[in-house]
A and B are shown apart, each in its own frame.
Chain A
Amino acid sequence: MQNKIERYIPLIVTVGQVVIFPYYIVWLKEVSFSYTLFAWLFATFSFAAAWGYRFFQSRGEKPRSFITSVYVAMGVVYIVVGYWKLLIEYLPYVALMTQIVLGFLQGYFRAWHTKQRSYHVHAINHYLIVGVIMIALSFMKVVSPSIFLTVFGIILCMCGIWEVVRRKKFRNSC
């Protein structure tokens, strides 16, 4: 059971990130005003991801990887984006912050994930699962991208809690 959880959480996170991407793009496009700003926000995301990736690498292989906090933090960002009704005045600034935070966390997560035993199995599975989910979503009447973003945020937070519980049980059993 412990092994299954260890295997499935990163897969859920990876698949979820790809599936949620189109909805996140819709939100980001709405708050970007122009293509230039839209592209620059993505550039910021990319640089932040490189930073997050490198940050993980520079810490070396430590037993505590903060991955639980990464799940929860990513979840909170998606919930904020999906649920929080912000004034138009502040939306682009919030978008910039979320791009930096999400970029950093995703870079960190990716770097951590590549070090896991199950990474290569996930790589194939996640492509297949994403394909199936995207086809299924195409038949759904989307009420609002914000609902999907919020739901995914909650799932990520649950993954974080799940991971904490798993580790606690693991420590107690040792």
Chain B
Amino acid sequence: MKKITKFMKKPWFLGILVFAMAIVVIWNIPIEKRKYGFSQSGLATDYTGLLPERIEKVVNVHNRNELQRIVQEANKKGKHISIAGLQHSQGGHTYYKDGIVLDMRRFNRILEVNEQAKTVRVESGASWEDVQEAVTPYGLALQVTQSQSIFTIGGSLSVNAHGRDIRFGPMAETVREMTVLTPTGEIKHLTRDDSEEWMTYILGGYGLFGVILDVTLNLTENEVYTIHTEEIETGKYESYLHRVLENQNIAMHYARISVAPGTFLDEMYVIDYNRTRKQAKITSLKEEEGVRVSKFALDLGRKGGKLEDLFWESQRLYINSIDGKTITRNNAMRSESTFMEFTTPGRVEVLQEFFIPVDSYEEYMKSLKDLLPHNDQDEDFKVHNITVRYAAKDHMTSLPYAKEDMLGLVVLIQHGLKEKEIAHAKTMIQKWTDVTLQYGGTYYLPYYPYQTKEQFKESYPNWKNFKEQKAERDPNGVFVNLFYDHYMK
């Protein structure tokens, strides 16, 4: 032992050790350097990190005069601007090559809560969590928001998001008034009867028609709900949903479809929130709970095969355990999200959402069963979760994903980052989109654009009008992003 220790202390041995280690490191430095989670000065990505791009600069926005000056200057100098909130979009919606990024996160004041009118006026950089904290003490709650409260108001409105609510229509319809900064640098106060129809293009406009400065949102009561859960067969969901929609006592609803090999697309859990007509007296909001356990269970599910069956079983236990419990509206609109964190080098998890007319659901699911592998354990393209949400017909925005009453299938997908793995994921998602289009469906645009331009045009037939209005309202092409580049250029 002494001899070994002595030998290891020889300078030439240590030199060789360093050299050998350097060779190992060099051998392991990836050829493709632009990977998930990687960023450095001047390089922007969004949540997935799939679309890194070098940008000119990031401007932390504090006030609207400063914003106006930046936009006016960009018009004069031919600069490009993108708008970023918490950057949970996944298709490069928040930045552009060599462009200026407006970081709106500090533009986040709650300007007014009107208890009588049941409205809240808020700056666009505020998160839904900020709004919930402001309105809960008044016994008020949001009408429509996503399942999690981690997004900014401006970001969610720019993609016209939706969530578990089934009574108030699309998120855009909950906007009563708003103040915007137009692409030419003009500050405009808009109401629903605005003759220039700015709201039509800004809401669900993916940040291409100017900056949302503040919005006045309609609120409702922070009612207490009783949770009802049930396990049903996929084939019976359509009729179940019709009963839910007819029953005005149910305020919110969502469902989850099994992607476990043993019950693949055959079983579902439904979760309803039944009204109790009691306003919540508690003013506190729930924090994230059971994150480590949920992450452990999800990580098991990510392994696929029998472990994915086990994960589905664990969800069954959880869903059964919450049946009959009560929850406030605000708390039902702030589910946990941290447990979904996925940072395995060389792989990425992305979201896609497909919308399908309510009455086509059963046939659509049969077609999906033919398309997707039931057991993806040994596949590179893995489907980890499918959640179902109801999306009411959108009468308001220019690129409506819900052309009629639709069901949105939010899909969590994992795939590798090698060129051929991304290409395979693209092929699979394009096939999935084709099936969706066959049933009169659409797909959602805040995510990575695996789809082709043709699929976009078929999903969003109003795209020409959107493009024309963009050219008219933003003549110098100031507001651009990678999403615009992919689909509109």
Contacts and interface: CB of A to CB of B under 8 A. Distances in A.
B18 A100 contact: yes
A33 B345 contact: yes
Contacts of A20: none
Given A47-B18, A100-B22, A146-B41, A33 B30 contact: yes
B340 interface: no
A68 interface: no
Nearest to B35: A33
A88 B41 contact: no
Main secondary structure, interface of A, reads: helix
Contact of A30 (B14, B18, B40, B345): B40
A36 B345 contact: yes
Contacts of A44: 18, 21-22, 25
A1 to B, nearest CB: 37
Given A30-B40, A36-B28, A47 B345 contact: no
B434 to A, nearest CB: 35
B43 A92 contact: no
A76 to B, nearest CB: 19
The CB with the most chain A CB atoms within 10 A, among B9, B22, B29, B34, is that of B29
A144 B29 contact: no
Interface in B361-410: none
Given A35-B345, A55-B11, A92 B33 contact: yes
Interface in B1-52: 9-11, 14-15, 17-18, 21-22, 24-26, 28-30, 33-35, 38-41, 43
A47 B17 contact: yes
Contacts, number: 71
B399 to A, nearest CB: 34
B43 A144 contact: no
Given A35-B345, A47-B14, A51-B11, A89 B33 contact: yes
Given A30-B38, A88-B33, A51 B18 contact: yes
Contacts of A88: 33-34, 40, 43
Contact of B345 (A34, A41, A89): A34
B35 A93 contact: no
A52 to B, nearest CB: 9
Given A30-B39, A54-B9, A88-B43, A96 B26 contact: yes
B interface residue count range (under 10 / 10 to 19 / 20 to 34 / 35 or more) = 20 to 34
Given A58-B11, A144-B41, A51 B345 contact: no
A51 to B, nearest CB: 4
Contacts of A48: 18
A26 to B, nearest CB: 10
A143 to B, nearest CB: 11
A44 B18 CA distance: 6
A51 B15 contact: yes
A50 interface: yes
A31 interface: yes
Nearest to A53: B14
Interface in B346-362: 346
Contacts of B14: 47, 50-51, 54-55
A91 interface: yes
Interface string A96-108: 1000100110000
A48 B19 CA distance: 9
A37 interface: yes
A37 B26 CA distance: 10
Interface string A138-166: 00000010100000000000000000000
Contact of B40 (A31, A36, A50, A54): A31
Contacts of A104: 18
A104 B24 CA distance: 18
Interface in A74-127: 85, 88-89, 91-93, 96, 100, 103-104
The CB with the most chain B CB atoms within 10 A, among A35, A54, A55, A144, is that of A54
A128 interface: no
A40 B24 contact: yes
What 7 A-B pairs have minimum CB-CB distances, sorted nearest first? A51-B14, A34-B345, A92-B29, A44-B21, A47-B18, A48-B18, A54-B11
23 contacts: A30-B38, A33-B30, A33-B38, A34-B35, A34-B345, A34-B346, A35-B345, A36-B28, A40-B24, A44-B18, A44-B21, A44-B22, A50-B14, A54-B9, A54-B10, A55-B14, A88-B40, A91-B40, A92-B25, A92-B33, A93-B29, A103-B18, A146-B41
